[in-house]
Amino acid sequence: MVAPSTVVGTGTGELSGKVDFVATAHNVALWRQAYVRRLAVTDMFIVFAAVAFAQVGRFGFGDSRVAGFSVLDAEVEYSIFSVALALVWLLALRLSGSRNAKLVGGGTLEYKRVADATIRLFGVLAILAFGFQLQIARGYVLIAFPIGLGMLFFGRWRWRRWLQRQRAFGRFTHHAVLLGEREKSRHVGASILREPGLGVELLGAVTEFGGTDRDLLPGVPVLAGFENALEVLLASGADTVVYSGSDRLSPEALQELGWELEAAKIELLVAPALTGIAGPRLHSIPTPGLPLIQVDYPTFEGTKYVAKRTFDIVGSVIALVVLSPIFAALALLVRQDGGRALFRQQRIGADGRRFEMLKFRTMVVDAEDRLPGLLDQSDGNGVLFKMKNDPRVTPVGRALRRHSLDELPQLINVLRGNMSLVGPRPPLNTEVEHYDSRMQRRFLVRPGITGLWQVNGRSNLSWDDSVRLDLFYVENWSLTGDLIILWRTLRVVFNGAGAY
């Protein structure tokens, strides 16, 4: 075991160049505060616009009052009520932590807190209206609630897009160094590099081996060993240290390192050994001297799963009705070569059950007969057969694939119960033969028309990335997450990148 003083030095007196690092941390705090202020101003504009639109849409520009207030025996003009509602709405957004400086800009928790604050506000409003017999117009609420929530989501999304563009030029980012055992740090570092939207630039790593000619990851050099960790961390110019774990660092040594980093205004992030688990499933249990993390198990039954199935049924019915003219037009285009409009293929679904998946046909009629002569030309990922320029694909089929319009008939599969709107990709039987025990967990949920694989590279994904994304979805699915994936799918499909 390495002695604490060997790892972190002898005290804050050794922090050479501390002023520079305090300045670096100060810059991070400044851009965070500026970003949060932008969110606050946007939220204020949206909330006041939503209640104003609701009032004008329901009552016009004339006078109107909220009748009732049986306890106070008074009436309040809707203008005053709308201002009060907007102020309370903004307060709820703030108290919910939806603009937490360390939260905004990444992940789904920000959207979840916006939704929770808004839904709870209008829930409390409904209870108060019932308790005090307030005659609040239902049309007013039915306009303000969905428009306000939708625009709040849109505002957060637009600011995230702006933040991602800034980070593409190296602005609004964190400069981090990994600290921990080499293999653990490699896993954590690879996860960070896969998510450029996090805005974390890895400057290097401090591992147990120290000075080595081998980089931890491409572009992530090993800076030093544990024996002079503090000196190297400060000299790196990092504003964040990501601790990936190590048996060579005692709890006391890590605690002292935390004190030194605190003095230098450098953030310390601790990456848990658990992988593939989203934040909402993790709960901190305060224990004196020993922080514990409770992990919720994924839910595959009960009311939450019933809600998902209900959402699938309602969503597929609405989509089939709205898109029926498009279905008819696409069917006519596909049948121009004399073949059938629909292609039916055996896939493996929930609990390993086989089902017949529907798609618009995108290949020539004898595509299956031509497959053996093309197997050695696959552009796939080792398990899946894919060709960027497959000669069997028809001109109409290529256009359908580019925008995933060939997947639309799977709405019928969703209605039948074979599939879900969102879920893992439905595999072929030949793919399942390559599955290990981990991949079998894909069959705990229904496969989806779209999923994380659809919005994170589509056909360009490697097999390992496909596995990782599917397992992450199975372990962490939620209705809020499904809505976000559907929204991202619309953007990806419209763009048409990554499909062939």
Q: What is the pLDDT of residues 143-201, one digit of tens each?
A: 999 999 999 999 998 998 888 888 877 778 888 999 988 888 888 888 888 777 778 88
Between 134 and 39, whose confidence is greater? 39
**What is the average pLDDT score of the chain?**
80
CA contacts within 13 A on the Cβ side of 186:
9
What does the pLDDT average to over 52-76?
Answer: 68
- Other Cβ atoms within 10 Å of 98 Cβ, number: 24
Residue 416 banded pLDDT, cuts 50, 70, 90: very high
pLDDT at residue 364, as a whole number: 84
- Within 329-440, strands assigned E span 342-348, 354-360, 420-422
pLDDT at residue 415, as a whole number: 95
Burial of residue 68 (CB within 10 Å: 0-12, 13-18, 19+) is middle
Between 127 and 13, whose confidence is greater? 127
Least confident of 97-111, 262-276, 336-350, 375-389: 375-389
CA contacts within 13 A on the Cβ side of 260:
25
pLDDT over threshold 90, residue 44: yes
Domains of the chain: 27-168 (no CATH), 173-273 (3.40.50.1110), 303-495 (no CATH)
CA contacts within 13 A on the Cβ side of 378:
13
Residue 127 banded pLDDT, cuts 50, 70, 90: confident
Dihedral sign, Cα of residue 260, residue 262, residue 267, residue 270: positive
CA atoms of 60 and 435, how far apart (whole Å): 62
Residue 462 banded pLDDT, cuts 50, 70, 90: confident
Least confident of 134-143, 180-189, 404-413, 423-432: 134-143
Residue 67 banded pLDDT, cuts 50, 70, 90: low
Between 174 and 89, whose confidence is greater? 89
pLDDT at residue 111, as a whole number: 85
What does the pLDDT average to over 256-268?
Answer: 85
For residue 239, the surrounding DSSP H or E stretch is none
Between 319 and 282, whose confidence is greater? 319
Region of 353 (left: φ > 0; alpha: ψ -120 to 50; beta: rest) is: beta
Residue 139 banded pLDDT, cuts 50, 70, 90: confident
pLDDT over threshold 50, residue 224: yes
pLDDT over threshold 50, residue 400: yes
Query: Residues 181, 245: contact at Cβ < 8 Å?
Result: yes
Between 14 and 189, whose confidence is greater? 189
Strand partners, 422: 450
Q: Which residues contact 121 (CB under 8 A, 6 or more apart)?
A: 88, 89, 92
pLDDT at residue 11, as a whole number: 36
What does the pLDDT average to over 69-89?
Answer: 75
Q: What does each C-alpha distance from 293 to 92, 252, 254, 303 come to in angstroms?
A: 27, 20, 18, 25
Query: Residues 390, 500: contact at Cβ < 8 Å?
Result: yes
Does the pTM of the predicted model rise above 0.85?
no
CA atoms of 261 and 258, how far apart (whole Å): 5
Instruction: Quote the percentage of the chain above a pLDDT of 70.
Output: 80
pLDDT over threshold 80, residue 382: no
* Both structure tokens of 438: 């981990």
pLDDT over threshold 80, residue 69: no
